[in-house]
Every structure is written in C-alpha cells, then in structure tokens.
C-alpha cells in the first residue's frame, strides 16, 4: 500500500519503519523530527497524503490533529482512509472523522497501547473506532505495527476505550502504591505483600505485571530507578482526557478525578516530571504519611 505518515516522533518513527520494512511505500512528514530510514521525505503533510491509500497520524494532541487534518483531508484521494493513531480527546476524534467522511474518505480513530517498546517491536494493541469497511482496509497495517486490533465501534470508540483503560490504570497504580507505602508503615514486608496480593483479590496489572516496588515481581521501571516506561506526564495527559470526556458525557468518575489531581500535583509541583508513573510509590513513602 501507499502510506502517508504524519508525525514521526518516539512512536510514529518506529511504526513507519515497520510499515516500510513490510514492503509498503511510506511517505512521511514531521515539522521537527527527521524521516527515519526507509521512509520517503515529504515537504508538507498534504504532500505526504496526496497519493496515499491510507494516511496515518501520530501526533501530540487533538488541537494539532485538527490542524493537520484540515491540511491533509482535501489532499487525499477519494476512498482513501485517514487513520489517527494519536491519543486525543473523543470530541476531536469525532470532528476529524466527520470531516473525512464528508470528503468521501474513510476515517478511523486507532489509539494504541504498548508504548515505545511496543512500537519498535511491532507489538502494539490498537483500539479502533470507525466503520467496518475502513477497519478492514487498514487491518493489515495494524497487523504489521501491532499484534492485536480491536474494532470497538463507531468513530470515537477507540479513544473512549483507551481513556477508560488508562483511567483504570491510573487509579489502580495509585491504589497499589499507597498500599505498599502503608504496608511499610505497618511493618509488612513488601515481598510478602506481593506474594499475597498478586494471588488475591487485590491483584491487578499494576501489581502483577508492573510492580512499583523495586526488586519485587517481574522487571519493571521500578528496577531501573523509575526511568519511563510510561512517563507520569503521559498518564496525566490521559487522565485529563478521561476527565474531559467524563464532563462532556456527564459520567460520574470521582476516582478518575482524584487520580488526575494526584498525577497533576506529582508532575507539576513534585518530582514526577520525566519519571515513570509508578514512581508514585517513593512519592507516597516520601510524604511520610
Ligand atoms: P512525540 O512528541 O515523540 O511525537 C510527536 C511528533 O509529532 C513530533 O515528532 C512532532 O514534531 C510531530 N508534530 C507536531 N506537530 C506536527 C505537525 N503539525 N505536523 C507534523 N508533525 C508534527 O510523541 P509520541 O511519544 O510519539 O506520542 C505520539 C502520540 O502517541 C501521542 O498522542 C501520545 O499520547 C500517544 N502515545 C504515546 C505513547 C508513548 O509511550 N510515548 C504510548 C501510547 C500512546
């Protein structure tokens, strides 16, 4: 396939490289990052999109996505698919999809989980919103860039799935960290706490797969001085998006709201910026109660 790829940063560059390695013709554009090996350089987003069967965007936020979509959609050929893999607000995802559909294009919102490691290894999970025919057209590309693609529903459903998942993740990570800090105070050995909780009803991905306590459970960023991994500021971004969506949909999410405010304080007023989101554990310990 001919692919236009807009946004060649930490995630976009390895995704574009994997598509090129699989034999697709990938033309890329980024306002700052250089085109990686195997990706043909375009001088604008519209140029990267012009002949493409599928245009993939991997951009920082909804505002930038809307601006890029305004340039790209008029340049695309009828029947091509605009596939946004960025994590953005549901309203921007739906607005961009509506504009693409009105222009005779297919449109998907397809945010990912799996991080930079997953982008490099081609093991991302895609959560996809949009029509079934557009999903079917792009599915072979999801299989190259990832190992799983779930068609979640109409436009916006992919972003909705992503922020629901990450709201659960933020809340359970905080719960896991505060429980470890409390266990310390109660004189309960961290390894014993892991042995019990990881096989009891308090288990979760945060505890079992990404344990925030160094030296306990499988290897995680806690074992690497809390270098990300999944940076606290990216968790804050996703919690902001989930609260924005909760407000606009009228959903009651008190735990999500509290997780958002704790990560905001951690990133903006404490030492969370640039640290893994599991560094909430030393933060709770450091607060000394
Ligand atoms: P990044 O900042 O490394 O990359 C974004 C790229 O977009 C940059 O290279 C930037 O120059 C480019 N860009 C900005 N404005 C542009 C424009 N108008 N036209 C063309 N290019 C433009 O960010 P990233 O880590 O690659 O993340 C991309 C998206 O993926 C974000 O929405 C993020 O939330 C999401 N995401 C990231 C991770 C992760 O672990 N990094 C995991 C899952 C999802």
| pLDDT at residue 289, as a whole number | 42
| pLDDT at residue 288, as a whole number | 56
C-alpha 33 – ligand 1 centre gap (Å): 10
Give the position, in ligand 1's atom list, of the atom nearest the Cα of 33. Answer: 9
| pLDDT at residue 287, as a whole number | 77
Q: Is the CB of 70 under 6 A from ligand 1?
A: no
Q: Whose CA is closest to atom 34 on ligand 1?
A: 87
Q: Whose CA is closest to atom 4 on ligand 1?
A: 9
C-alpha 86 – ligand 1 centre gap (Å): 7
Q: Is the CB of 31 under 6 A from ligand 1?
A: yes
pTM for this prediction: 0.94
Q: Which ranges of 146-210 does DSSP label H, i.e. alpha helix?
A: 157-185, 190-197, 205-208
Query: Which pair of tokens denotes residue 21?
Result: 């390695």
Could you list the pLDDT tens digit for every one of the 289 residues in the chain?
999 999 999 999 999 999 999 999 999 999 999 999 999 999 999 999 999 999 999 999 999 999 999 999 999 999 999 999 999 999 999 999 999 999 999 999 999 998 888 999 999 999 999 999 999 999 999 999 999 999 999 999 999 999 999 999 999 999 999 999 999 999 999 999 999 999 999 999 999 999 999 999 999 999 999 999 899 999 999 999 999 999 999 999 999 999 999 999 999 999 999 999 999 999 999 875 4
Helix, coil or strand: residue 175: helix
Give the position, in ligand 1's atom list, of the atom nearest the Cα of 8. Answer: 9
| Distance of alpha carbon 80 from alpha carbon 102, whole angstroms | 13
What amino acid positions are annotated as catalytic residues? 162
| Distance of alpha carbon 161 from alpha carbon 167, whole angstroms | 10
Pairing relation of β-strands 124-130 and 2-6?
unpaired
Tell me the helices (H) and strands (E) count for the chain, helix number first. 12, 9
CA distances from 257 to 13, 25, 170, 208, 272 (A): 33, 43, 10, 24, 18
| pLDDT at residue 86, as a whole number | 97
Q: Whose CA is closest to atom 12 on ligand 1?
A: 7
Give the position, in ligand 1's atom list, of the atom nearest the Cα of 61. Answer: 32
| Distance of alpha carbon 220 from alpha carbon 249, whole angstroms | 35
């Amino acid at each position: 396939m001919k692919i236009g790829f807009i946004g060649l940063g930490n995630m976009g560059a390895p995704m574009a490289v994997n598509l090129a390695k699989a034999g697709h013709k990938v033309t890329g554009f980024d306002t700052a990052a250089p085109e990686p090996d195997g990706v043909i350089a375009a001088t604008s987003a519209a140029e990267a999109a012009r002949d493409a069967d599928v245009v993939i965007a991997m951009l920082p936020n909804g505002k930038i996505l809307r601006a890029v979509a305004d340039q790209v959609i008029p340049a695309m050929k009828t029947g091509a698919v605009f596939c946004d893999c960025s994590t953005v607000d549901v309203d921007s995802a739906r607005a961009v999809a509506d504009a693409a559909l009105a222009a005779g294009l297919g449109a998907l919102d397809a945010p990912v989980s799996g991080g930079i490691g997953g982008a490099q290894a081609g093991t991302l999970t895609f959560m996809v919103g949009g029509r079934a025919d557009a999903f079917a057209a792009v599915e072979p590309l999801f299989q190259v860039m990832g190992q799983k693609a779930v068609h979640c529903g109409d436009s916006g459903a992919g972003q909705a799935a992503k922020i629901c998942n990450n709201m659960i993740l933020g809340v359970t990570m905080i719960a896991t960290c505060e429980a470890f800090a409390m266990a310390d105070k109660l004189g309960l050995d961290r390894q014993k706490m892991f042995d019990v909780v990881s096989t009891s009803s308090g288990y979760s991905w945060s505890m079992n797969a990404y344990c925030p306590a160094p030296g306990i459970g499988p290897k995680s960023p806690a074992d690497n001085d809390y270098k990300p991994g999944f940076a606290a500021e990216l968790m804050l971004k996703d919690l902001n998006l989930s609260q924005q969506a909760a407000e606009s949909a009228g959903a009651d999410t008190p735990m999500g709201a509290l997780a958002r405010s704790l990560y905001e304080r951690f990133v903006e007023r404490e030492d969370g910026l640039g640290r893994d989101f599991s560094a909430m554990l030393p933060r709770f310990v450091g607060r000394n109660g």
